[in-house]
Structure 1
């Protein structure tokens, strides 16, 4: 079942078109069966009527004919015998026989009984298979060797003991009716599927634009409102989305104003405290106090950056990400502990450089702090760009790999920033990656150490 589901269309347009096409095909299949059976019945009725008319017209010859004689009249062969004929696999058509018998017996009372049966021509006695004519009176050989699959046998019993058997091939079911049905089906498909496709496109196009806005920019993009298009239901959906986007932007703007005020109100006393610390005479105590203040400022900066990532004011810039990686590595490392592997091609993408630099600094800083050394590589794969950082540290447990992206979670339990950090570095890196349509993944390397992979979309926005 799952093997066949992979061929099932994934899009709304594809599924509607497929279901409609299968529905039309089912209806046409039923219609074909009904019409084909009606054609079969009509062929038998035509043959029976022709048989009865021919026998009635040839009654004088039948009365004068001797037993075991043969009368040929165009497509009908009439045998006069002294015995009944019941070929195998022939089925009686009693209702049709009654319809044929009534006019014959009313004109010729000497007819005791009338029997009509249908069966394969090959089951007739050999002498009764000659000659072979079609329903138009032409020899079957003239029809490219096609033989009638079925024949109609009209059996009359006279009061003098004679039996008269009239044979006529039932009109074969040639491909002409099926060809007409195929043409009709094609016309129905064209008449139904083309307008349906146009209607679905009218619905799916604004939905696709709405999905692209959410996937690439999100509710807090700050982009102009989407233009309502399509049917009224879709227009109402787009209007609701625009209203929701405006409310989200208003809340984020209010949040940024609040965060700016909080940052200012907190940093001002911290700066004042930093100045007062300089008056402390004990140098060791002064350095510890200054380090504590610096840590508080750094943590406050991390919190503000993380809180503002939902609505970044930085514009997208087409950037050579490979060069940006090398630049950040040079800034962090002066001892060649970060080895940057040269990319085979230039990996360009529309990114927010300042934010991406911050994410790279956090990941590379962790690699230096916990692994001592690291190797960095950049790769482009279709619409995705990935930056891989392999360190030589001890790696992480499965629980740590899952929990480290939570705010204030760290591989070390120490609250000392020199050893454990603020616990927001990976959270910020992942938030920045997701703001670029990607993610950050951590995994242990088979040869030892930790691998951090930062992925971003090359078609952001």
Structure 2
């Protein structure tokens, strides 16, 4: 199966369960805080204005009386220094302000009452009702001689402390957010990652290490269920392997006896057909046995150091095997080998099986092509050392939707083909098993025209042991 392209960090963050949970917590906290603060402000603000405003208005009247008529600047200055207040005086005689930046002190007159005329009937003599700034109108007073007094809270000294409290609150919120993210990663995401890694191991057929997640919650229960499922799957696979191995072993002896008996028959077309069928059955059983051996995670490989000279001998052996399989026409082949290939420990028998099956598949499906199959061996010293063995034919190729299934056991693109025409679908499956047993991969792709099969195998330059 074609591996998925690696996701970018932004893509992983966007689709991260932990990020979504933290974002949900943050949004829920912000929404709850906004609703709570808005409700409390509305409730307290309404009650404060109803209960405290009359008291404040009476206090402002007393402050205006203390300033005097006409306003005394010294009294006003003493009042502004003694209390957290800002005071502005405007009038025909006195114009003075204690703090020009205090909120609530408008730079323009708060009334349109012509000086020297008494206020309209029904108006308070010390409070004018035609105000430009209604927000702070109840903090303004008009003296008998036409001076306007504006009072406001001088909050300049109060700003630094709320800012410090706000910064501390923000830091606390960020700390809580970081703590929440740590908790989500430790108690939710990391167990899910361990369960995912365990499921991936089980999918590869590695049941040696169960998921270690002892938790008394739903994640622990999920891990236990996955482990039980893996145990059942391992039992089923072991039973299947044992059955196939037993059947294959039991069939080899009768087939051998049948072949010996067929050799004693006089030469005839029927004898040749019988020997050919018995040989195909023998090869099928051998392929089944080899496939089951390589399927096991602990498949044993007989590794020996193999260099360029060994490759030449291996290809000569493969040519003889192909000639014996197709005696009617010797398969043609174009070979490219690297000039300098370091020796590396591989299983030569399994490697010869891989090359023979790939070449046999290429020659069989491209026998009528104008060009013979091409075999290319290249060594790449980067990233620890890799060897790529690529075989390309010039045949009709395979439909794109069938590429991912070509290496499955007993799969054939044309289900109507017989073994003599197209085999039973074990050749490329064995090639994939051999590559994976060596720690490599098998890649199948259309070459337009034809099919390219590439085995990528670890091949270090030092000749050190390769871990499968």
**Pairwise TM-score range, normalised by the shorter structure:** 0.5 to 0.7
Task: Kindly report which structure 2 residues correspond to 1:96-107, keeping only aligned pairs within 5 A, or say none.
Answer: none
Partners of 1:314 and 1:65 in 2: how far apart? 104
| Alignment equivalent of 2:318, drawn from 332, 348, 356 | 332
Which residue in the other structure is 1:113 paired with? 127
| Alignment equivalent of 2:90, drawn from 55, 79, 83 | 79
Q: Structure 1 pair 39/340, CA: closer, same or farther in 2 (3 Å)?
A: farther
Which residue in the other structure is 2:412 paired with? 409
Q: In the TM superposition, what is the alpha-carbon distance from 1:270 to its structure 2 partner?
A: 1.3
SS in 2 for 1:113: coil
Which residue in the other structure is 1:137 paired with? none
Instruction: Determine whether 1:6 maps to 2:11.
Output: yes
Which residue in the other structure is 1:450 paired with? 451
SS in 1 for 2:69: helix
Q: In the TM superposition, what is the alpha-carbon distance from 1:274 to its structure 2 partner?
A: 0.2
1:205-234 per-position Cα deviation (integer Å, ceiling 9, x unaligned): 443333223324537424144433344322
Partners of 2:306 and 2:20 in 1: how far apart? 39
Instruction: Determine whether 1:363 maps to 2:358.
Output: yes
| Alignment equivalent of 1:424, drawn from 420, 423, 426 | 426
Task: Kindly report which structure 2 residues correspond to 1:5-404, keeping only aligned pairs within 5 A, or say none.
Answer: 6=11, 8-21=13-26, 23-24=28-29, 53=59, 56-59=62-65, 62-64=68-70, 72-73=76-77, 74=80, 75-80=86-91, 111=125, 113-114=127-128, 154-157=139-142, 162=146, 164-166=148-150, 168=152, 171=155, 174=159, 176-191=161-176, 193-194=178-179, 197-198=182-183, 200-218=185-203, 220-282=205-267, 285-306=270-291, 311-315=296-300, 326=311, 329=315, 331-333=317-319, 337-341=334-338, 358-369=353-364, 370=366, 371-377=372-378, 387=388, 389-398=390-399, 401-402=402-403, 404=406
Q: In the TM superposition, what is the alpha-carbon distance from 1:276 to its structure 2 partner?
A: 0.6
Partners of 1:40 and 1:362 in 2: how far apart? 86
- Maintained 8 Å contact 2:392/2:451: yes
Q: Structure 1 pair 19/64, CA: closer, same or farther in 2 (3 Å)?
A: closer
Partners of 1:22 and 1:386 in 2: how far apart? 53
Q: Structure 1 pair 60/264, CA: closer, same or farther in 2 (3 Å)?
A: closer
Q: In the TM superposition, what is the alpha-carbon distance from 1:295 to its structure 2 partner?
A: 0.7
Partners of 1:152 and 1:318 in 2: how far apart? 97
Q: Structure 1 pair 365/163, CA: closer, same or farther in 2 (3 Å)?
A: same
SS in 1 for 2:214: coil
Q: In the TM superposition, what is the alpha-carbon distance from 1:240 to its structure 2 partner?
A: 1.8
Q: In the TM superposition, what is the alpha-carbon distance from 1:314 to its structure 2 partner?
A: 1.0
Partners of 1:277 and 1:193 in 2: how far apart? 79
Partners of 1:313 and 1:323 in 2: how far apart? 28
1:120-170 per-position Cα deviation (integer Å, ceiling 9, x unaligned): 9xxxxxxxxxxxxxxxxxxxxxxxxxxxxx987844356x67453325475
Q: Structure 2 stretches of 5 or more lacking a match? A: 1-6, 81-85, 94-104, 112-122, 321-331, 367-371, 460-465
Q: Structure 1 pair 229/411, CA: closer, same or farther in 2 (3 Å)?
A: same
Q: Structure 1 pair 189/427, CA: closer, same or farther in 2 (3 Å)?
A: same
Q: In the TM superposition, what is the alpha-carbon distance from 1:275 to its structure 2 partner?
A: 0.5
Q: Structure 1 stretches of 5 or more lacking a match? A: 93-108, 121-149
Which residue in the other structure is 1:135 paired with? none
Partners of 1:457 and 1:115 in 2: how far apart? 93
Partners of 2:437 and 2:311 in 1: how far apart? 22
Q: In the TM superposition, what is the alpha-carbon distance from 1:255 to its structure 2 partner?
A: 1.8
Which residue in the other structure is 2:328 paired with? none
Partners of 1:62 and 1:388 in 2: how far apart? 105
- Maintained 8 Å contact 1:277/1:286: yes
SS in 2 for 1:201: helix
SS in 2 for 1:63: coil
**CA RMSD, Structure 1 to Structure 2 (Å):** 5.6
1:278-298 per-position Cα deviation (integer Å, ceiling 9, x unaligned): 111216654442222111111
Q: Structure 1 pair 48/116, CA: closer, same or farther in 2 (3 Å)?
A: farther
Task: Using structure 1 for the length normalisation, give the TM-score.
Answer: 0.63
Partners of 2:441 and 2:350 in 1: how far apart? 14
Structure holding more strand per residue = 1
- Maintained 8 Å contact 2:66/2:75: no
Which residue in the other structure is 1:98 paired with? none
Q: Structure 1 pair 411/430, CA: closer, same or farther in 2 (3 Å)?
A: farther
